[in-house]
Amino acid sequence: MDSQDSEVLAAVRRWAADGHRFALVTVARTWGSAPRPPGAWMALRDDGRVQGSVSGGCIEDDLIARMAAGEFNHTQPLLLRYGVTRDEAHRFGLPCGGVLELVIEPAPDLALLNDLAQRIAAGQLALRTVDLDAGTVAIRDGCRSDQLSWDGRHLTTLHGPAWRLLIIGAGQISRYLAAMAQALDYQVLVCDPRIEYSAGWDVPGATLLPGMPDNIVVDLGLDPRSAVVALTHDPKLDDMALLEALKSPAFYVGALGSRANNAKRRARLLQHFDLSDAEVARLHGPVGLPIGSRTPPEIAVSILAEITAIKNGVHTNPEAARQSAADRSGCRID
């Protein structure tokens, strides 16, 4: 599946080819219980059609009305704030006094959007900066440690496959996991040296990497936006990959298997490999949240649910929670 960035970019390019005007709307900052996070964006066409979202719907309706009224018939980007008063927050469905700051680009440069789309399609990260004072937009190379920034006049957003998921094993669970992870904007990489599994791998957008899992983990240079899930059931493959992944800055490392098998795995990792207690404690196993999953798609849902929780700072493993975020910072340099 396409990422949300790619879906918005594909829509505006189609609209431009059909002769439509459009505006881009990006969430720059939020306070309280805002429906969408900073960086979320949408495209708004001159006839009211939208792609993407910045709220639950009420703010989109207001933006459509503003577009129809001609408020965006200019080229200078501007700032809109919603939810400043209690009445306005209630009107626009912002719970608990939520406030949104939106950057509106009434006339985006199509050439720059094409450039951004090409970078994303090539698997590259890109930073896009909107200068409200100068009325300009710039695009430059990004890296995985980059973050959204907003000082009230300059908005910089990160686009592209900022998050990576390495799956060890090309079995049935991996197929569902790869497809679902791409829907959540992960760049999905798969490694399985077993030809009986890898030969049939055909999940669109999920790259099959040749080689042994431990070598792949090292070669990828895992960073704080990387996750690794071992799903082969083969200790010779899973353990070697976990050995390297647990020493890396990856924010999530998990392995399939029962509680008993994972207890044995932790014992092996401590006894036979150069791993500390803290490093082994980072392992999520049995992998995934305990939601009673039985089928491959249910197991994939539970795995992605746990990965999402950890990514969003909701730690499901108290031992893993003690891993300092400061120790997992940095930018990958290829």
Please tell me whether residues 199 and 310 are part of one structural domain: yes
CA distance 99 to 87: 12
| 78/208 same-domain check | no
State whether 135 and 172 are in the same domain: no
Report pLDDT digits (tens) over 96-116: 556 889 999 999 999 999 999
DSSP 81: E
Q: Which of 110, 125, 159 is the last residue of a domain?
A: 159
Q: Is residue 132 part of a domain?
A: yes
Tokens found for residue 130: 């909107």
CA-to-CA distance for 3 and 187, rounded, in angstroms? 10
**Domain identity same for 78 and 219:** no
Last residue of a domain, one of 115, 136, 159: 159
Q: What's the whole-model pTM score?
A: 0.67
Structure tokens, 91? 């009107």
Where the chain has pLDDT below 50, the residues are 1-2, 318-334
Q: Are residues 186 and 142 in the same domain?
A: no
Shared-domain flag, residues 139 and 190: no
Cβ atoms of 110 and 43 closer than 8 Å: no
Q: How many domains does the chain have?
A: 2
Q: Which of 128, 144, 159 is the last residue of a domain?
A: 159
Please tell me the predicted confidence (pLDDT) of residue 318: 42
State residue 321's pLDDT score.
Answer: 39
Looking at the structure, do residues 293 and 147 belong to the same domain, yes or no? no
Asked if residue 293 and residue 200 are part of one domain, the reply reads yes
pLDDT given for residue 2 in this prediction: 46
* CA separation for the pair 132, 16 (Å, rounded): 23
What are 178-208's pLDDT values in tens digits? 999 998 888 899 999 999 999 999 999 899 9
Question: Are 129 and 192 in the same domain?
Answer: no
Quote the tokens at residue 204. Answer: 């669109």
Asked, for residue 178, whether it belongs to a domain, the answer is yes
pLDDT of residue 302: 97
HSE, side-chain direction, 13 A CA sphere, residue 285: 28
Annotate 217-280 with DSSP letters as a single string. Answer: HHHHT--TTEEEEE-S--HHHHHHHHHHHTTS--SEEEE-S-HHHHHHHHHHHHHHSS--HHHH
Which CATH number covers residue 314? 3.40.50.720
Report the alpha-carbon distance of residue 211 to residue 206 in Å, rounded: 16
pLDDT score for 173 = 96
Residues 309, 222 share a domain: yes
> What's the domain range around 207?
163-328
What are the structure tokens assigned to 132, written together? 């409200």
* The two three-digit tokens of residue 248, written as one number: 């890396």
Residue 192 burial (CB count, 10 A) = 24
Residues 129 and 278 reside in one and the same domain = no
Pairing state between β 149-150 and 78-82: unpaired
* Residue 148 exposed, middle or buried by CB count within 10 Å (0-12, 13-18, 19+): middle
